[in-house]
Each structure stands twice: as structure tokens, then as C-alpha cells.
């Protein structure tokens, strides 16, 4: 059984690395918009037997229930790695053989991108990984079985996950996809996102309504 996992943190504390260019209210609004785009894509997938959401953020819990996804409630959130590993163990005990973790901030992702990962051959012990745009982070991670090795999300996670997979006896499969690689962690990512075609996304509408490109250009001009 192949399943999808969405770890969702409290959006009120999201995107701290954008604090130098966005206010707390703006960071919250951007995170909300990107989560909406990610959830829109997830609603269209065909290749996952189940979708799991692990969170202690009530709006995300409500959205999971409304979409018929399986909710894994957290009492507290210590780190994304801890959340993903706890969920992976639970999923494995419930019969999931391969688990794909996606982050919440993929404004360009489409359902077909997720289905492609879920349909790729990844026999046990196996790992399929999509790096971040700069090649150092991890934007998607599929493990067979789900708890094959401990998560290492954070700085340099791509190399760490490759090393963990090799220690577990798996041959890492690296998959490139520009839409999946386009997450937003810092100002460089935000500027790169603004160069994309965002017309059909909630993120694009939010960026336009809040004139983020204009404010970034003004900031750059006065730097």
C-alpha cells in the first residue's frame, strides 16, 4: 500500500527565514496560500491508497477531515523530522509499505507530479528523493518501508538522506521536477518564485494582492 504524508506545522510560526522581508502577518498569509495550493494538488491525486496529515494546527486538522484524509494528531511539534518519523511508524503499523512525504509549501505542484512519484518503482529497501531547487534540501521523500531510516530535514538534508539510505542498504533514486523543487524558505526562493507563472495559484493571487514583488524591488533599490 502506497500512501502520502503531509506534515503541517502551525502556520502562525511558519517561514521565519523570511522575517527580514515579510511581516508576521505576511508570512502567515503566504504559508496559507502555499498550503492551499499543495492541498489542491493532493485532492487530485489517483495513486495513493491513503493520505495522512500529521499536525497539531487546528485549521489543518479540519481541512484533513473535510477532505477525508486520515488525521494523525500531535500533542506538540518539536521538529519536522520528529513529526515525519512518528507518522511513518504509525503508517507502517497500519499496513503502508511505501510512504511519500511532501512539504506544505509547493505552490507550483500538480496532482500529476505527485502521482508520478507514487507510481515510480521503489522496492524495499528503497528511497526516492526530490531535492530542493538549490540541490541541498529535500522537497519530497518516499521510503520503502516508511520507517527505513530516520529523517534528517533541515540544512543539508539531501546529502544526509542519501547517506542514511545507503547505510540502510538502499540505492537512492533521485528524481528532478522543477515544480516540486520550487519551495519557499528564504528571500532568494521568494524572488525565484515571483519569476514563475503563478496565474492559476492561490500563492500567485496572494503575492499580487499584497504587492510583494513591488515591495521587494523597493527594498533592493534602497539597500
Average pLDDT over every residue of 52-61: 96
Q: Does position 176 have pLDDT exceeding 90, yes or no?
A: yes
Chain segment 94-150, per-residue pLDDT in tens: 999 999 999 999 999 999 999 999 999 999 999 999 999 999 999 999 999 999 999
Tell me the average pLDDT of the chain. 95
**C-alpha span between 78 and 56 (Å, rounded):** 11
DSSP state of 4: E
Q: Does domain 2-120+140-147+184-221 have CATH number 3.40.1130?
A: no
DSSP state of 13: G
Confidence band of 222 (pLDDT split at 50, 70, 90): low
Task: Name the region of 48 (left: φ>0; alpha: ψ -120 to 50; beta: rest).
Answer: beta
Least confident of 15-19, 60-64, 71-75, 219-223: 219-223
Would you say 120 and 2 are in contact if contact means Cβ atoms under 8 Å apart?
no
Spans of all domains in the chain? 2-120+140-147+184-221
Confidence band of 223 (pLDDT split at 50, 70, 90): low
Average pLDDT over every residue of 2-16: 94
pLDDT of residue 41: 97
Amino acid at each position: 500500500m502506497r500512501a502520502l504524508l503531509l506534515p503541517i506545522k502551525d502556520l502562525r510560526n511558519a517561514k521565519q527565514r523570511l522575517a527580514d522581508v515579510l511581516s508576521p502577518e505576511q508570512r502567515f498569509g503566504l504559508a496559507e496560500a502555499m498550503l492551499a495550493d499543495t492541498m489542491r494538488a493532493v485532492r487530485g491525486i489517483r495513486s495513493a491508497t491513503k493520505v495522512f496529515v500529521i499536525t497539531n494546527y487546528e485549521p489543518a486538522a479540519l481541512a484533513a477531515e473535510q477532505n477525508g484524509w486520515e488525521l494523525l494528531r500531535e500533542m506538540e511539534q518539536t521538529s519536522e523530522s520528529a513529526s515525519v518519523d512518528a507518522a511513518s511508524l504509525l503508517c507502517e503499523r497500519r499496513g503502508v509499505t511505501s510512504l511519500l512525504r511532501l512539504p506544505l509549501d509547493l505552490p507550483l505542484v500538480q496532482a500529476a507530479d505527485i502521482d508520478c512519484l507514487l507510481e515510480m518503482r521503489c522496492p524495499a529497501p528503497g528511497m526516492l528523493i526530490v531535492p530542493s531547487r538549490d540541490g541541498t534540501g529535500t522537497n519530497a521523500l518516499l521510503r520503502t518501508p516508511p520507517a527505513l531510516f530516520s529523517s534528517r530535514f533541515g540544512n543539508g538534508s539531501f546529502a544526509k538522506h542519501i547517506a542514511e539510505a545507503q547505510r540502510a542498504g538502499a540505492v537512492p533514486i533521485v528524481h528532478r521536477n522543477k515544480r516540486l523543487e520550487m519551495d519557499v524558505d528564504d528571500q532568494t526562493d521568494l524572488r525565484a518564485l515571483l519569476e514563475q507563472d503563478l496565474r492559476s495559484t492561490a500563492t500567485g493571487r496572494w503575492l499580487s494582492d499584497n504587492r510583494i514583488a513591488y515591495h521587494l524591488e523597493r527594498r533592493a533599490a534602497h539597500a
